[in-house]
């Protein structure tokens, strides 16, 4: 751009750009979280706006136009600074296979289904104690029931859940594992 053309741009337009600078900086900083990069993006936006000032037909809608330029500058920054990795250096072996992931998800689904079939009181007590790690007294306070009721509901819920999950095992052996939880 010819430096003389800058003088042809109206002072009103230059003032609008200058007045808009803090808003551009605010957005650029929110996107980049880097003061230097935000300054650079705003500077680049202002230069492009000055170079393209003849494109502005409605100076009242300048904010959308400037934000569009800032967005393009932001995208250009990422294109220029795109980090590349050599694919030959990447190890593509994972200890967990898709089959293992599917099996573990299947187990999770079965446990959730078994818990969902528990009576509401047992389900509440079990989830609060076993999932949230709450104490028996805290659960009793939350549910407004005696501690003894909490303990009996938890015992019944665990026994029911254990039986339901044992029935789902593919090698349904007669051995019942001993479950113990110390509170």
Question: Which is it for the CA torsion 116, 121, 126, 127, positive or negative?
Answer: positive
* Distance (Å, whole) CA 41 – CA 30: 12
Average pLDDT of span 84-94: 71
45 with 20: CB under 8 angstroms? Answer: no
Q: pLDDT tens-digit profile of 26-81?
A: 999 998 889 999 999 999 999 998 888 777 777 667 878 888 899 999 999 888 87
Check whether 147 has a pLDDT greater than 80. yes
Percent of the chain at pLDDT exceeding 70: 84
Cα separations in angstroms, 178 against 43, 147, 158, 165, 169 = 69, 24, 11, 14, 16
pLDDT of residue 8: 45
Which residues are CB-contacts of 151 (< 8 A; sequence separation ≥ 6)? 136
Residue with tokens 């079939």: 117
Higher-scoring residue by pLDDT: 116, 88: 116
**What pLDDT digit, counting tens, does each position of 120-140 carry?**
899 899 989 988 888 999 999
pLDDT at 1: 41
């Amino acid at each position: 751009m010819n430096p003389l053309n800058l003088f042809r741009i109206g002072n009103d337009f230059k003032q609008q750009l200058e007045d808009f600078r803090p808003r551009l900086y605010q957005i650029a900083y929110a996107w980049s979280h880097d003061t230097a990069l935000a300054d650079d993006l705003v500077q680049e936006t202002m230069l492009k706006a000055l170079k393209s000032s003849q494109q502005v037909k409605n100076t009242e809608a300048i904010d959308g136009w400037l934000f569009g330029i800032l967005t393009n500058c932001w995208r250009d920054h990422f294109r220029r600074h795109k980090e590349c990795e050599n694919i030959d250096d990447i190890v593509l072996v994972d200890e967990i296979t898709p089959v293992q992931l599917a099996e573990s998800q299947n187990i999770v689904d079965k446990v959730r289904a078994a818990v969902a079939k528990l009576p509401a009181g047992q389900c509440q007590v079990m989830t609060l104690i076993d999932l949230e790690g709450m104490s028996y007294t805290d659960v009793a306070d939350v549910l407004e029931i005696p501690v003894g009721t909490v303990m009996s509901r938890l015992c019944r819920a665990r026994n029911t859940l254990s039986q339901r999950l044992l029935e789902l095992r593919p090698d349904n052996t007669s051995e019942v594992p001993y479950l113990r939880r110390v509170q």
